[in-house]
């Protein structure tokens, strides 16, 4: 079966848009985004439920996409069809409605609801979900004489603003074991950019350059599980894969050495007052810590406060990760993922803690339509 991607591009001075077969979805190699990262994007999740595909906070994601583009001077009137753009600056909600409509049509056109059920029944995916990836970027319009001075300088204003939306099936981002038992992570040597270098309130492609380095650093690392066993090793003794923690993710620090976020997730740290899990304080880095203001992060903060937990947004020193009672990631792909070790040091008891599990349970049931959506966050595609 061939899938489809919705594309809005400029070719020889005219707009070309519509559903494109997956194998035919292409951009020019001289597109500005390839050379200078002049693009912004979103990751949106759709859950497979009895009512259809439940898109979680899709409108909030698309609002952030439009605002991210605006920070990079890619304005809605530059990339919206005339009927949406009108004569001036189109209202954000009109653009959001348009993107949501196309997203629903794409999900149906690619038959993702039925495909998800098929791959799960066949065992090809453990927990398939619909992943929605919209991108707004600076492209390249081939002129009458393409060899003559193509617009390929750092200045992006001569390049057309283009966009596409792709939808496909994905599985547990950090692996099923990380979801169930907790993730093993490291703190990366690659720091986040300083706030004055790249705008982190925009979900820009350039923000993930160091994230790629940090991600590779984690998946190519290993830590000993049993330090006593290591100390007892003699010449000729060997270690097996089961003797090692194999990190699946990195935590990046700010340029001042404070905790920022994962390569694609926000982070939360739980400390029990006087060692009592009934009296937790939940800490998370503030927006000023060079983090993306995550949609899932915001959701967990609101759920936690409604559950009566104290949530504090503050700068977090690295060593707090080692002494925390619980640590967990949040993100569109990661959802709520417990962290069981940081740099080989167990977090708390080295397994998911009660606060993390409680918040994850509420979040999971809400996004899957199993409890009342009191926030109005879910929209269904039937």
Q: Which residues are catalytic?
A: 203
Q: How many CA atoms lie less than 13 Å away from 140 in the CB half-sphere?
A: 18
Q: Which CB contacts under 8 angstroms, 24+ apart, belong to 368-371?
A: 368/47, 368/49, 368/54, 369/47, 369/49, 369/50, 369/51, 369/54
How many C-beta atoms lie closer than 10 Å to residue 305's C-beta?
12
Q: What CA–CA distance (Å, rounded) separates 378 from 380? A: 7
- Backbone region of residue 206 per phi and psi (left: phi > 0; alpha: psi in -120 to 50; beta: other values): alpha
Supply the DSSP symbol for 193. Answer: P
Supply the DSSP symbol for 258. Answer: B
Token pair listed for 159:
């390049």
Asked whether the beta carbons of 36 and 367 are under 8 A apart, the reply is: no
Asked whether the beta carbons of 277 and 355 are under 8 A apart, the reply is: yes
Supply the DSSP symbol for 24. Answer: G
Element (H, E) at 68: helix 58-71
Select from 218, 229, 258 the least CA-distant residue to 343: 218
């Amino acid at each position: 079966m061939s899938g489809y991607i919705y594309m809005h591009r400029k070719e020889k001075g005219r707009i070309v848009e519509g559903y494109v077969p997956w194998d035919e979805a292409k951009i020019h190699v001289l597109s500005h985004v390839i050379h200078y990262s002049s693009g912004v994007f979103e990751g949106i999740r759709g859950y497979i439920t009895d009512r259809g595909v439940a898109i979680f906070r899709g409108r909030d994601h698309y609002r952030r996409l439009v605002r991210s583009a605006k920070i990079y001077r890619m304005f809605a009137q530059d990339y919206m069809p005339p009927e949406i753009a009108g004569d001036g600056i189109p209202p954000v909600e009109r653009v959001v409605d348009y993107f949501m409509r196309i997203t629903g049509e794409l999900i149906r056109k690619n038959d993702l609801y039925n495909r998800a059920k098929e791959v799960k029944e066949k065992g090809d995916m453990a927990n398939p979900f619909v992943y929605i990836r919209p991108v707004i970027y600076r492209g390249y319009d081939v002129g009458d004489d393409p060899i003559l001075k193509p617009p390929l300088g750092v200045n992006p204003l001569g390049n057309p603003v283009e966009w596409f939306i792709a939808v496909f099936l994905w599985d547990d981002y950090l692996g099923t074991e990380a979801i169930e038992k907790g993730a093993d992570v490291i703190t990366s040597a690659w720091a986040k950019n300083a706030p004055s270098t790249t705008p982190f309130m925009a979900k820009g492609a350039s923000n993930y350059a160091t994230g790629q380095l940090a991600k590779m650093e984690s998946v190519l690392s290993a830590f000993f599980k049993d330090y006593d066993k290591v100390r007892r090793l003699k010449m000729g003794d060997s270690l097996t894969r089961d003797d090692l923690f194999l990190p699946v993710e990195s935590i990046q620090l700010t340029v001042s050495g404070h905790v920022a976020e994962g390569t694609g997730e926000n982070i939360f740290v739980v400390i029990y007052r006087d060692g009592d899990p009934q009296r937790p304080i939940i800490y998370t880095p503030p927006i000023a810590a060079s983090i993306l203001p995550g949609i899932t992060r915001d959701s967990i903060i609101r759920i936690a406060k409604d559950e009566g937990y104290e949530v504090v947004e503050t700068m977090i020193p690295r060593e707090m990760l080692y002494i925390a009672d619980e640590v967990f990631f949040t993100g569109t792909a990661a959802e709520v993922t417990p962290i069981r070790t940081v740099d080989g040091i167990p977090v708390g008891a080295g397994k998911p803690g009660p606060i993390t599990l409680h918040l994850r349970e509420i979040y999971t049931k809400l996004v899957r339509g199993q409890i009342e959506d009191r926030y109005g966050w879910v929209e269904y595609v039937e």
